[in-house]
Amino acid sequence: MFTKYHPTKGEMLQILSPEGKIINTKFQPEISTEKVLQAYKLMVYTRTVDLKTVSYQRQGRMYTYAPNFGQEASMIGTGFHMNQEDWLVPSYREMGAFFHRGVTPTDIWLYWGGHEDGAKFPKATNTLPISVPIASQIIHAAGIGYGLKLQKQKGIVYTYFGDGGTSEGDFHAGLNFASVWKAPVIFICQNNQYAISLRQEKQMASSNIAIKSLAYGMPGIQVDGNDFFACYSATQKAAQHIEEGKGPVLIEALTYRRGAHTTADDPSRYRSKEEEKIWEEKDPILRLKRYLVAQKLWSEEDDTKLTQQYEEEVEAEFLEYEKYPPYELNDVFQYLYNTMPDDLVKQKQEYEKYLAWKESRS
Amino acid sequence: MTLMNMVQSINSALDIKLEEDPKVLSFGEDAGLEGGVFRVTENLQKKHGEERVFDTPLSEAGIIGSAVGMCMTGLRPVAEIQFSGFVYPAYDHIISHAARMHNRTRGRYDMSMVIRMPYGGGIKAIEHHSESMETLFAHVPGLKVVIPSTPYDAKGLLISSIESDDPIIYMEPKRLYRAMKQEVPDGKFQIDIGKAKIVQEGSDITVVSYGAMMKEAREAAILAQKEGYSVELIDLRTIYPLDRKTVAESIRKTGRLLSVTEGPSFSGIGSELVTLANEEAFLSLEAPPTRLAGFDTIVPLPKGEHFYFHTADRILYEVEKLVKY
Ligand SMILES: Cc1ncc(C[n+]2csc(CCOP(=O)(O)OP(=O)(O)O)c2C)c(N)n1
Ligand SMILES: [Mg+2]
């Protein structure tokens, strides 16, 4: 696969056409029908949570949020391949991969709702919190890979970043370190073609992102990021490559952010409605659904029922989330160090004195 | 004169300098077509062209490293860092090159750049979008650090910064971007770098602040008035070089100092001001020179940020303690 789709050829791996037809049987992944259905449901679930979160933000029940809408295949097609012992090293637009690891919508809401408890993930293992400084997490992934290799622990590191992220020096350092160490890392670029307002052509002069792998002596492949099967298949091959001890792989999943960069962003300033329309037709969920329906594995009625069920579940969970205990003064201080330095003890006490003074005046 | 908020007055300063001096450039992430995520550079690309007002690839090291090179060819780049919390990949170029080049080359190369960045909290943002780390720049020899608190000052100070031949860190209190409007001259005017402003005269205590905290400091001065305490309020406007004379004279007059700053306390600007009080006004002091700074913690996410950012009555509380000392 890595030879056939060598990035210098400029050919993208696609298995499922936008109409939902298998057009490439040779590189179909090994995956059971049951798992495909499971992945499809996760994609629908992710979208439900995502769209609801945007609407909660609009209602003033959530702070600024970065939507995932349109990137479900690229994050779940790759992330669904993760096993228990693997590691997820995300940026901030991989909600489906988070859910696959056991992160809950409540965790996600806590984070975007402004509470540090949303970076703890009590129900997930080997899952790092969102990383906001672009590309910085890529080097952590290399370090985790080294740690696993050195200590002969099982597991592959899945790290995510955007097209914009490839411009930071940390992208270079991360790929270089991992390749020198032959560390077990899959570098996954969700190329949604924009970094906020900046189009890919202005971000880089290279013809694609996968080709950057050549400079680090690792395989790279561009896949259709709206095609679940292409994403899953390339990830499966990358994992095999790593298990054979051959070191890291770079996957570029070409997709499109259908929503805004964040709820504070207005895409009409930098892209056209016509362009958005084109990508609506290439929607990853629509595509997989067409396939499943054609295979008689799924129906429109199943779909309506599932969406409704998820909507109800998510709404109920959100109401629970809103009852989360209030933020305490101690939450500001207690986790910064293992033992609180005297300076901090004093600052907290001073603040409590001020609160008492304030109380006494009202 | 036009009624402007700070976004508009900064935009106006950039517009005037781009118009007047072909060597001035403005660039950064999303700072061209989009006009910046806060719209500070809105319409400048349309007006001055894509070669002088442009989007860069996503690399802060790239932005500031290339600005160093541009300065060597005689250009005057105004580089935008999208949020001060993302300046760190560029920190090497700021400290190791921009701040040092003039000295290293014995004056041969001017680092005539301005590095603009929104800083500070209070907009309910996620991680890395709320910090006030001016100390990290003020501590570095070779840099000047400017922080305006009003639309008027923002324009005059930015024009002076662009005209300065030294590298200037120009930090914009994002919470005040649209918080108030003020009459600002449409044309060009300068405000001297290194000059503080006495915002309100008073006799009991000197309160020194700058940037976003000026809003609370002003409110606190009004509250204090009601309690019968007369506050002399100083807006530093430039953090480095510090206007020692204005601050010292005021402390000698009032006998008391309270500094109000937003960022972490340890090794902060407040520590400098307290030192200044000791060095320049010791014999006039009626109470210990005091700093009110942020906790030495990470700025909490929005649900907890009200604990972190000073309110006017927190400042009043400190004022009262010192006046009654
Ligand atoms: C070091 C750093 N610089 C700037 C930013 C501000 N910022 C947040 S997202 C973003 C664009 C990222 O684009 P891309 O990597 O393509 O990811 P996408 O948002 O498209 O998923 C920028 C510039 C940041 N978070 N970190
Ligand atoms: Mg992108």
B7 and B143, same domain (yes or no): yes
B27: nearest Cα among B72, B88, B82: B82
User: Which of chain B's residues have a Cβ under 8 Å away from the Cβ of A195?
Assistant: 29, 58
Q: Which ligand has the minimum distance to the alpha carbon of residue A131? A: 1
Q: How confident is the model over A233-237, as a mean pLDDT?
A: 98
The answer to whether the CB atoms of A114 and B305 lie below 8 A apart is: yes
B145 and B266, same domain (yes or no): no
Give pLDDT tens digits for A13-59.
999 999 999 999 999 999 999 999 999 999 999 999 999 999 999 99
A341 contacts: CB under 8 Å, gap ≥ 6: none
What lines the ligand 1 site, CB under 6 Å? A 93, 132-134, 162-165, 192, 194-196, 257, 261; B 29, 58, 60, 82, 86, 89
Task: Report yes or no for ipTM above 0.95.
Answer: yes
Ligand 1, atom 13: closest residue by C-alpha: A195
Check CB contact of A194 with chain B, cutoff 8 Å. Answer: no
Ligand 2 centroid to Cα of residue A246, in Å, is 29
The confidence score (pLDDT) of residue A82 equals 98
B190: in domain: no
Cα–Cα dist A274/B258, whole Å: 58
B131 and B208, same domain (yes or no): no
B30 and B125, same domain (yes or no): yes
Catalytic residue among B48, B97, B102, B129: B129
Ligand 1 centroid to Cα of residue A134, in Å, is 5
B178 and B264, same domain (yes or no): no
Mean per-residue pLDDT over chain A, rounded: 98
Q: How confident is the model over A89-115, as a mean pLDDT?
A: 98
The answer to whether the CB atoms of B57 and A203 lie below 8 A apart is: yes
Nearest CA in chain A to B37: A265
From A92, A134, A209, the mutation candidate for ligand 1 (largest count of ligand atoms within 8 A of CB) is: A134
Residue B24 Cα distances to A286, A355, B90, B107, B148, angstroms: 49, 50, 20, 21, 21
Ligand 1 centroid to Cα of residue A47, in Å, is 21
B145 and B243, same domain (yes or no): no
Of A133, A331, A358, the CB nearest to B304: A331
Cα–Cα dist A265/A260, whole Å: 6
| β-bridge pairing B238-240 and B144-146 | antiparallel
pLDDT tier at A362, thresholds 50, 70, 90: confident
B305: in domain: yes
Give pLDDT tens digits for B13-65.
999 999 999 999 999 999 999 999 999 999 999 999 999 999 999 999 999 99
The answer to whether the CB atoms of A197 and B55 lie below 8 A apart is: yes
Residue A102 Cα distances to A122, A280, B116, angstroms: 9, 29, 41
Longest dimension (CA), chain A: 77
The answer to whether the CB atoms of B58 and A343 lie below 8 A apart is: no
B192: in domain: no
B72 and B101, same domain (yes or no): yes
pTM reported for the whole predicted model: 0.97
The answer to whether the CB atoms of A196 and B85 lie below 8 A apart is: no
- DSSP states of A52-103: HHHHHHHTTSS------TT-HHHHHHHHTT--TTSEEE--SS-HHHHHHTT-
B189: in domain: no
Q: Which atom of ligand 1 is nearest to the CA of A161?
A: 15
Give pLDDT tens digits for B295-313.
999 999 999 999 999 999 9
How crowded is residue B46: how many other Cβ atoms within 10 Å of its Cβ?
12
Cα–Cα dist B244/B276, whole Å: 7
End-to-end CA distance of chain A: 72
SS3 label, residue B35: coil
Check CB contact of A93 with chain B, cutoff 8 Å. Answer: no
CATH number at B218 reads: 3.40.50.920
Q: Report how many domains make up chain B.
A: 2
Q: How confident is the model over B198-227, as a mean pLDDT?
A: 98
To the nearest whole Å, the CA of A236 is away from the closest chain B CA by: 30
B191: in domain: no
Range of the domain at B33: 2-184
Mean per-residue pLDDT over chain B, rounded: 98
B154: in domain: yes
B270: in domain: yes
* pLDDT reading at A69 higher than 90: yes
Check CB contact of B62 with chain A, cutoff 8 Å. Answer: yes
Single out the residue in B184, B209, B230 at which a domain terminates: B184
Q: Provide the token pair at A270.
A: 């930098």
The confidence score (pLDDT) of residue B231 equals 98
Nearest CA in chain A to B86: A133
Single out the residue in B129, B153, B184 at which a domain terminates: B184
B77: in domain: yes
B207 and B69, same domain (yes or no): no
Is residue B241 reached through a cis peptide bond, with omega within 30 degrees of 0 on the bond before it? yes
Ligand 2 centroid to Cα of residue A193, in Å, is 5
B17 and B163, same domain (yes or no): yes
Q: How confident is the model over B195-203, as a mean pLDDT?
A: 98
Q: How confident is the model over A190-217, as a mean pLDDT?
A: 98
Single out the residue in B184, B212, B234 at which a domain terminates: B184
* pLDDT reading at B230 higher than 90: yes
CATH number at B156 reads: 3.40.50.970
B315 and B271, same domain (yes or no): yes
Of B88, B296, B307, the CB nearest to A343: B296
Angle at A61 between CA A60 and CA A64, to 5 degrees: 70
B105 and B220, same domain (yes or no): no
Active site residues of A: 257, 261, 270
Q: How confident is the model over A295-323, as a mean pLDDT?
A: 98
Check CB contact of A64 with chain B, cutoff 8 Å. Answer: yes
B241 and B313, same domain (yes or no): yes
